[in-house]
Amino acid sequence: MRHYIHGFSNGHHWLSGRVLLLMAVSALPLTLAACSQSTTSVPDSQPVKVEQSATQNAQVQNESSAPADAPAIDPSSLLKNVSATVYKDANCGCCKEWVGYAKDNGLSATAQDVADVSLFKDRYGVPQQMRSCHTTVTTDGFVFEGHVPAKHMAQFLENPPISAIGLAVPSMPVGSPGMEYQDKFMPYKVMQLNKDGTTEVYAAIDSPQQQL
C-alpha cells in the first residue's frame, strides 16, 4: 500500500477508512493486482463497482453487435501528430502500461521519471480530488491526468472546450486503459478540468466498449 500513498501530500487523513470499505468489497485487491508497482495513492473519488448489472450487460451486448460493414477505426491514427510528456514514478507499472497503450494509439509520448509527481500536478493545475498516478502534458499545454482513454483524448484535442485545460480519470479504475486485470471492469467517469479549478463530467464510461 505504501506504493499508492507516494506523491500525494494530503492523502493520509482519509485513506485508512476508505481501505476498510474497499477491502470489504474486494475492489482494492483488483487495483493492487492490476497496478502492483504504482507509487501513488488512490483518491476517494470513485464508487466501487466491479460486477456489471443486467442493464449494463445488455448494453455491452448491444454495443458489441455493430453492423459487420461498419468502417474499422485504426487505433494508431487516433492521436497521430500529438506529442506529449508523461510525468510518472519510475516504479509505476500501470503508468508504463498506459504509455504503451497511448503509443499504440498514435501518441508520440516521452516518459519522464520524476521523484515527486505531485510537483507536476501542482504545476499544471490538477485538483487534488482529480489526481491519479501519472500526468500527461501535450506540447500544446493540455493536461491528461491518469488513465484517460485515447478516444476521449482525441475528441478533446479535436475541439478543446474554451474553458478547459484537459481531462482526468481520478484514481485508477480497474479495466481502464493500462489498468486491465482479467475480465474485471469498474465503471468510471472522464472528468473535464477547467481553468478556474472546477470540474465537470466529460464522459461516463459504463462498459469497456465505450473506451474504444
Give 37-61 pLDDT, tens digit per residue: 444 444 444 443 434 444 344 443 4
What integer pLDDT is reported at residue 26 of this predicted model?
46
| 182 φψ region: left (φ > 0), alpha (ψ -120 to 50), beta (else) | left
Give 74's pLDDT tier (boundaries 50, 70, 90): confident
In a domain, 6, yes or no: yes
In a domain, 207, yes or no: yes
Contact 95, 149 (CB under 8 A): no
Distances (CA, A) of 160 to 69, 129, 141: 31, 22, 12
- The answer, yes or no, to whether residue 28 has pLDDT greater than 90, is no
In a domain, 58, yes or no: no
In a domain, 57, yes or no: no
Q: How many domains does the chain have?
A: 1
Sign of CA dihedral 173, 176, 177, 179: positive
| Buried/exposed code over 154-182 (b: 16+ C-beta within 10 A; e: otherwise) | bbbbeeeeeebbbbbbbbbbbbbbbbbbe
Give 35's pLDDT tier (boundaries 50, 70, 90): low
Instruction: Tell me the C-alpha distance between 123 and 52, whole Å.
Output: 37
Which three cell numbers mark 116?
Answer: 515527486
